[in-house]
Amino acid sequence: MAYQLENLLGEFFAGEEFARVTGTTSHCLSLSVIADAAANGLTPSQSEHAAHCHRCLHALALAFGDECPGGSLLAAYAAGRLPIAEAVRQHIDQDDCASCRTALSEISRIAAAPTPEGPEQTLSEECARWRSRYLKAIHDLTAKGISGVESLLAGAAAAVEVTVDAAHGVARILSEPAEACRDPLAPMGLAYPAGIAYRSGGDTSKTGTQSSALLSGADLPTVRIAADAERQQIKMQFMGGTPPPVVLLIPMDEALPVTIRRPEPAGPIHQVLFSDVPAGECLIALPRDKKSEK
């Protein structure tokens, strides 16, 4: 945690006046949880507490001033389903955060774009859809004896939803609802599992036909995903660490085949290029590092 933030939060928590006015409960989030919330989000129980605790909301808003909320949090905020929305609002207003405002307008622009999949679905419907599609695809591949995919049955190290759609000029990368595939047997809920840091939009072009995201976590090397709607391509670059043995591209449409690629060396990094990606939602899933398999 940044030194400045630690000071700020320390002062905040020591604020006797604040404690006297609001009261303190033992359920309040720890400093480290608050400081990491921008990148890792909160568990459902942490969210539930913070949503109703002025003290935690304010501390979260201070922490967001140090590190802006990540893609998943902003997407949930934009969709009106973030329990700690008040903290994000406070951060944006009080810090007059241009970066969050830009990210939010980009999110709403993409949300307003026509999508090929028809009527809008709730997040949990989307999660359930991706989970069943994911598990069926992995079961089918395992049954065919494809090597390197068995570990995915227990969950992916990382999973993101990518859409490249030339007809609508949309390239979109979403960390949720695909995150439900990281632990496909866990109870479904609005959770932001820890372990994956997600940054989106580094070079999102003005036309919206290109989008990129950076993923990093304990189970995988840093990976940059770039989606290009005009070329119907998804490129992944693995930087540092050992790349996963395989990368899967699973179209939501069950009639379309799953594509399996093995990362190949490209200079100092490894990369995977999916070309002729079908229009519509696809899931990219990466298996866990061998070391971390149980």
Question: Nearest to residue 2, comparing CAs of 47, 32, 23?
Answer: 32
Shortest distance in whole angstroms from residue 40 CB to Zn ion = 16
- With contact defined as beta carbons under 8 Å apart, do 20 and 168 qualify? no
Among the listed residues 58, 269, 280, the one whose alpha carbon sits nearest the alpha carbon of residue 165: 280
Interacting residues toward Zn ion by CB under 5 A: 28, 53, 55-56, 68, 97, 99-100
Q: Where are the alpha helices (DSSP H) in the chain?
A: 3-14, 16-22, 31-40, 44-51, 54-66, 71-78, 85-94, 98-112, 123-143
CB of 85 to Zn ion, least distance (A): 14
Is 73 or 160 the residue whose CB approaches Zn ion more closely?
73
Tallying the residues shown for the chain, one arrives at 294
User: What is the DSSP secondary structure assignment for residue 222, as one 8-state letter?
Assistant: E
Minimum CB distance to Zn ion smaller for 56 or for 220: 56
Which is nearer to Zn ion, 53 or 160 (by Cβ)? 53
Q: Which C-beta is closer to Zn ion: that of 78 or that of 285?
A: 78
Query: Cβ 100 to Zn ion, closest distance in Å?
Result: 3
Q: Which residues in 75-112 are b (16+ Cβ under 10 Å) and which e?
A: bbbbeeebbbbbbbebbbeebebeebeebbebbeebee
Least separation in angstroms between residue 68's CB and Zn ion is 3
| Minimum CB distance to Zn ion smaller for 92 or for 137 | 92
| Minimum CB distance to Zn ion, residue 30 (Å) | 10
Cβ 127 to Zn ion shortest distance, Å? 26
State whether residue 196 is helix, strand or coil: strand
Task: Give the nearer residue to Zn ion in terms of CB position, either 56 or 234.
Answer: 56
Which of 84, 277 has the CB closer to Zn ion? Answer: 84
CA distances from 11 to 16, 98, 154 (A): 10, 26, 43
Q: Do residues 34 and 57 touch, judged by C-beta distance below 8 A?
A: no
Residue 278 Cβ vs Zn ion, minimum distance, rounded to whole Å: 35
- Taking the C-alpha atoms of residue 239 and residue 232, their distance in angstroms, rounded to an integer, is 23
